């Protein structure tokens, strides 16, 4: 009986929000919060059952229907390996549209995308299986997916979800197992299919979220120029604070673009400052934790957080609720910044070593909670995707 658990982290942007759209570098880091997937094969079953707890939804796929879909796809597009994921995604969308119309009626768009990702990634993993070119699924299984990440809050929830699914289905289809998934070529395969899942959700994703969720740590990236992992020695302690304010990233990006067109020299100077800030932050993140002058490095990181936040305020992407978070943190002696698009979403509060022993920290946490904010103590820059044994 095959059973295992996958944990895929979410992510935050530490520095370079908005500037990254204008070809400036940004830093993304995994957070300790993420998606947990539990996989169990079910003897004598001919069903694949997916329970998505965060969406309060269940999807059931008959293996006979799924295998028939695979046969049809192989007949239309013969060949040992999958050459066009675009063709597969098109076929999956058409198949699921018919299936949902027959069995599930109208589903929320969010649920539809989740189901398309599941069917698409499962089909892709089986069609490219190294075991045999015409592999079919013969035993049913159950997958439970739960997430600590709020959807649409800039924490990489969809990439975390896609990475967990990709890892599980690639194991199921025999690409690798629970002991070899950390080999470079296997992590690259997980990240590739997680990116394909991101295409379902975002159309033309940057590739940042799936990469950092799979590999972990902190990545420096420039749009169109790839990614560079930082040599992080230990993760940072952070407080993720949910403003509970929803927003449209596309609307905020458009607003900033209008500002940059209205005051090009001024806004370009802000992007230049953002680039210098990232360049200053990289050596601090890479050397933090080596035991030498960590307190001095931490103070420099605090200042960079404050400068970064002020630069984001200058382009008009703050919000009264975010300002309330910043004020509460600063009053207690902590430094914070918005993350992602801003105008709502999350703020990050930087926490020192041994923060649990600091009475002021507990007062900060309590005050934020009393004010109605969601508070999550976690880390930034830790491990990426992990697979472990599952004990019932």
- Which residue ranges of the chain lie beneath pLDDT 50? 105-106
Which pLDDT value is given to residue 106?
A: 47
Tally of CA atoms within 13 A in the half-sphere of 198 that contains its CB: 21
- Whole-number pLDDT of residue 1: 82
Could you report the per-residue pLDDT of 182-209, keeping only the tens digit for each? 999 999 999 999 999 988 877 777 788 8
Domains annotated for the chain, with CATH where assigned, are 3-230+383-389 (3.30.230.10), 236-379 (3.30.70.890)
Phi, psi values for residue 144, rounded to 5°: -115, 130
Sign (positive/negative) of CA torsion 345, 57, 209, 301? positive
Place of tokens 């309060």: 56
> CA–CA separation, 381 vs 220, rounded Å?
12
Q: State the pLDDT at residue 392.
A: 65
Report the relative pairing of strands 140-147 and 47-52 from DSSP bridges. Answer: parallel
Cβ atoms of 234 and 343 within 8 Å: the answer is no
Pick from 329, 318, 370: which is nearest to 351 by CA?
329
What is the predicted pLDDT for the residue at 13? 92
Asked if 3 and 178 touch (Cβ cutoff 8 Å), the reply is: no
d(CA 260, CA 53) in angstroms, rounded, equals 41
Give yes or no for a contact between 319 and 373, defined as CB atoms under 8 angstroms apart: no
The pTM (predicted TM-score) of the whole model is 0.88
Within 8 A by CB and 6+ apart from 82, the residues are 88, 124, 127, 128
Kindly give the pairing relationship between strand 3-15 and strand 346-351. Answer: unpaired
């Amino acid at each position: 009986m095959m059973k295992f658990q996958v944990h895929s982290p979410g992510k935050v942007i530490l520095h370079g929000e908005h500037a990254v759209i204008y070809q400036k570098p940004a830093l993304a880091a995994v957070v300790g919060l993420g998606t947990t997937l539990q996989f169990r094969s079910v003897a004598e079953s001919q069903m694949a059952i997916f329970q998505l707890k965060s969406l309060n939804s269940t999807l059931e796929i008959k293996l006979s229907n799924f295998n028939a879909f695979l046969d049809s796809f192989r007949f239309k597009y013969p060949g040992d390996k999958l050459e066009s994921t675009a063709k597969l995604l098109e076929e999956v969308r058409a198949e699921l549209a018919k299936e949902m119309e027959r069995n599930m009626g109208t589903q929320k768009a969010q649920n539809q995308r989740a189901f398309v990702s599941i069917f698409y990634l499962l089909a892709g993993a089986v069609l490219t299986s190294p075991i045999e070119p015409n592999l079919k699924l013969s035993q049913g299984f159950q997958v439970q997916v739960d997430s600590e990440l709020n959807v649409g809050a800039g924490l990489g929830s969809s990439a975390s979800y896609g990475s967990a699914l990709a890892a599980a289905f690639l194991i199921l289809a025999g690409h690798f197992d629970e002991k070899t998934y950390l080999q470079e070529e296997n992590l690259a395969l997980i990240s590739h299919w997680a990116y394909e899942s991101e295409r379902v959700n975002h159309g033309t994703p940057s590739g940042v979220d799936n990469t950092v969720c799979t590999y972990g740590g902190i990545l420096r990236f420039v749009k169109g120029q790839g990614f560079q992992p930082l040599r992080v020695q230990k993760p940072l302690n952070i407080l993720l604070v949910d403003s509970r304010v929803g927003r449209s990233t596309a609307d905020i990006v458009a607003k900033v673009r209008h500002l940059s067109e209205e005051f090009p020299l001024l806004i370009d100077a802000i992007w230049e400052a953002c680039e210098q800030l990232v360049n200053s932050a990289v050596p601090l993140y890479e050397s933090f934790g080596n035991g030498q002058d960590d307190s001095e490095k931490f103070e420099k990181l605090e200042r960079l957080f404050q400068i970064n936040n002020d630069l984001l305020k200058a382009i008009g992407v703050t919000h009264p609720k975010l300002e309330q978070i910043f004020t509460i943190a600063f009053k207690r002696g902590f430094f914070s910044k918005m993350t992602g698009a801003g105008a709502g979403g999350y703020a990050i509060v930087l926490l020192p070593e041994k923060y649990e022993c600091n009475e002021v920290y507990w007062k900060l946490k309590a005050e934020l909670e009393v004010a109605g904010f969601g508070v999550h103590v976690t880390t930034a820059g830790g491990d990426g995707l992990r697979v472990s044994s599952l004990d019932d």
